[in-house]
Structure 1
Amino acid sequence: MDALRYFIALVWLVNGLFCKLLMLVPRHAAIVARILGPTHAGLLTRLIGLAEIGMALWVVSGRYRRWGALTQIVLILSMNALEAWLAPDLLLWGRANAGFAVLFCLLIYWHTFGRPRGAPP
């Protein structure tokens, strides 16, 4: 059992299910409205939440790990760059959110590419 894989998946699941799909953190919908426009922000936020839940399932599955890790890193860095540029006032820690995003990306990278050979996936 790979606890780190489940932790990474849990981050995606919590953000997708609780913050976006169930809309328990309205700030997420406000960020989507700021970046993509307010007209369909609720629907788009929920769709993003479904995609994040899908990412959690992909991570748990362990299939195509390297592609999954690269996809996660690109998405996380892209989302955080857009948010820091267009909605820094809506972020929990402002532009410092980017630091946490980079740390999470480094964790994903290490988990997939950086561990010693023979270590469990």
Structure 2
Amino acid sequence: MTAHRILTYFIAAVWLINGLACKVLDLVPRHEQIVARILGDDFAKPLTILIGTAEMGMAVWILTRWMPRFNAIIQMVLVASMNTLEFFMAADLLLWGRINVLFAVLFIGLIYYWEFVLKNDI
């Protein structure tokens, strides 16, 4: 199995786990708390489920390899946007506080490397 294929499965798994386990199944309640802090309490539960469902859709999109470069750009923008909002509005609710931004930058770098540097062999 090539590095590109391994990273494809890994990146898809990150989106799937965060969407399904953390948000849709609510196994990590702080995700809903973050949504409530940023978007308000009134619709935090359904919005968290909606965000989680969209993250699961991202995992499927990654695995289909449909428009892969556009997909990678969307992923990088989403991760940067979500983490910027969380950094300024909900840092106290993040697993590693403001240091979370480091993991976001590393994940963005991994996505870039996966799609724009490695040979696309899938």
Percent identical among aligned pairs is 56
Indicate which of 45, 48, 52 corresponds to 2:48: 45
Indicate which of 29, 51, 57 corresponds to 1:54: 57
Query: 4+ residue runs of structure 1 moved beyond 3 angstroms?
Result: none
State the alpha-carbon separation in 2 of the partners of residues 98 and 114 from structure 1: 23
Alignment of 1:25 onto 2:53 = no
Q: Work out the number of aligned pairs and report it.
A: 119
What letter corresponds to residue 121 of structure 2 in structure 1?
P
State the alpha-carbon separation in 2 of the partners of residues 114 and 98 from structure 1: 23
- 1:7 maps to what in 2? 10
- 1:83 maps to what in 2? 86
Cα offset for 1:120?
2.2
Please list every run of 5 or more consecutive structure 2 residues that lacks an aligned counterpart in the other structure: none
**Residues 42-100 of structure 1: CA deviation (Å, up to 9, x unaligned):** 00000000000000000011110000000000000000000000000000000110100
Please list every run of 5 or more consecutive structure 1 residues that lacks an aligned counterpart in the other structure: none
Cα offset for 1:3?
1.2
- 2:105 maps to what in 1? 102
TM-score, scaled to structure 2: 0.94
State the alpha-carbon separation in 1 of the partners of residues 64 and 97 from structure 2: 33
Q: Output the aligned Cα RMSD.
A: 1.0
What letter corresponds to residue 81 of structure 1 in structure 2?
T
